[in-house]
Amino acid sequence: MFLDALAPPVFEYPEMPGYSLRLASSAPLIAGTDAMVEITADPGAAFRTGWTELIPSAPHVLVRRLWVVAPNRLLANIRVSAQAPSGTVSFSVINGLRADPVEGALQIVPAAQGALSAEPNLINPATGRRSVYPGGEAWLRIPNLPGVAPAEISIAVGGSPATVLGVNGEQVHLKLPAGVSIGPAVLNVTVRGQPLPAVLVALDPPPPSVRAVTTTSGSLIPQQAAARPGDFLVIYVEGLGETDMEGVEILIGGVSHSSIWSYPVSRDEDVRAIWVVLAPNVPAGSSVPLIVAAGERLSAPHPLAVAAD
C-alpha cells in the first residue's frame, strides 16, 4: 500500500456534544484543612471512573479522592496546604481526551487559630482497615482536637445522625447510622458548636462472613478430624457480592491462601464456595483463625481446627 505524500488520508473525529460544568460548592476553603467539592455538568457529559480527573488551578490544593456518582456529577475530597496563600482556586475536568474549565471558583482563606478539620479516612476498629459500613463502628481522627467530652461533639453521616461512643485524644469512636447508602457520604462534624468543613467518607458494604468450612465431601471440619496441611478445604462465604475473586484473600493462621476454584452456591443467596489447599506452614491448633479479605473488607475470624503435619 502506497500513500500520496501530497494528499495523505485524513480522519475527522465526530464533533463532541458541548456541555458546561459548574461548581455546586460555595463554602470558602480554609488553609490547612480538608473539604469536599461538588461539580455538576449539563446532560451530555459522560464522566467515567478511571477516565475522569479533577485538576485544581493552584499547586497548594490537592485532590485526595474523586467519585463519579453520575455521568454529569462529581464529588471530591480536597486538601488545602497550610501554606496556601489567600486567593481563589478554580478547577478543570479532564474526561478522556477532553478538558473543560469549571465555571466559578472557591475562595481560600487563612486558617483561624485552633481551626479543626476531620480526616476523611474512617478506620474500622475491629480490623484497623479503611473499610466501614452503615450500622458499624468507626474511628474518626480530628487532628489537634482539644480535650472534649463526647456530648460536645455531634456528627452526621449522609444527613443522618451518628452516635458518638467515646473520645480518645484525637480519635472519636462513633457508630454509623444504619440507613445510609453505600458509597460516598457527606460527613458533618460540629465540635463545641463550631462546624468543621464538610468532607466525604466512603461507606462499603458489610464485611463478608464465613458460614462454614468443610472437606470436599461436605464434612464440617470442627466436627470431624482436624484439617491437615495439603487438605482441600471448602469455605462457604456470605457477603462477597460482585467482588472480583482475584481480590479475595484467605488468611489461615496469618498465612495467605488463594482460591483454586469458587462458585455461587445458589442464585437466591449471596454465598460462594471457595476451595483452597491448606498450606504446610499454617500453625496447628484447635482454633486457628480463618479470615476472608475482600480488599479492605475483612470477615470476623472463624475458628478452624488444624492438626500438625
The better pLDDT of the pair 13, 215 is held by 215
Q: Which CATH number, 3.90.245.10, 1.10.3720.10, 2.60.40.10, 2.40.10.10, labels domain 137-203?
A: 2.60.40.10
CA–CA separation, 9 and 7 (whole Å) = 7
Class of domain 209-306: mainly beta
Task: Tell me if 137-203 shares its fold with 209-306.
Answer: yes
pLDDT band at 224 (very low <50, low <70, confident <90, very high): low
**Residue 180 · residue 146 · CB < 8 Å:** no
Q: For 192-201, how does the pLDDT look when each residue is reduced to its tens digit (9 = 90+)?
A: 999 999 999 9
Cβ(293)–Cβ(246) below 8 Å = no
Q: Is 44 or 55 the better-scoring residue by pLDDT?
A: 55
CA atoms within 13 A on the CB side of 57: 15
Q: Give 25's pLDDT tier (boundaries 50, 70, 90).
A: confident
Provide the sign of the torsion angle of the four alpha carbons 211, 215, 217, 219, taken in this order: negative
In the numeric block, which cell numbers belong to residue 284?
Answer: 496447628
Question: What 3-state DSSP class applies to 160?
Answer: strand
112-127 residue pLDDT tens: 777 889 999 999 999 9
Going edge to edge, which strands form the sheet with 106-109?
A: 29-30, 106-109, 87-89
For residue range 132-190, what is the model confidence (pLDDT) as tens digits? Answer: 999 999 999 999 998 899 999 999 999 999 999 999 999 999 999 998 999 999 999 99
Write the DSSP symbol of residue 154: E
The pTM assigned to this predicted structure is: 0.83
Distance between CA atoms of 234 and 123, rounded to whole angstroms?
A: 31
> Above pLDDT 70, what percent of the chain?
94
Which residues contact residue 102 at a Cβ distance below 8 angstroms, ignoring those fewer than 6 apart?
Answer: 21, 22, 23, 39, 90, 91, 92, 93
The gap between the terminal CA atoms of the chain, to the nearest Å, is: 68
With residues binned 3-state (H G I as helix, E B as strand, rest as coil), the percentages for the chain, rounded to 5, are: 0, 50, 50
Q: Domain boundaries in the chain? A: 21-109, 137-203, 209-306
User: Phi and psi at residue 224, in whole multiples of 5°?
Assistant: -120, -160
Q: What is d(CA 247, CA 175) in angstroms, rounded to the nearest whole number?
A: 28
CATH class of segment(s) 21-109: mainly beta
Average pLDDT estimate for 69-92: 94
| Rounded CA separation 309/307 (Å) | 6
Q: Which three cell numbers stand for residue 22?
A: 459548574
CA-closest candidate to residue 251, choices 212, 300, 206:
300
Of residues 201, 212, 200, 189, the one with CA closest to residue 143: 189
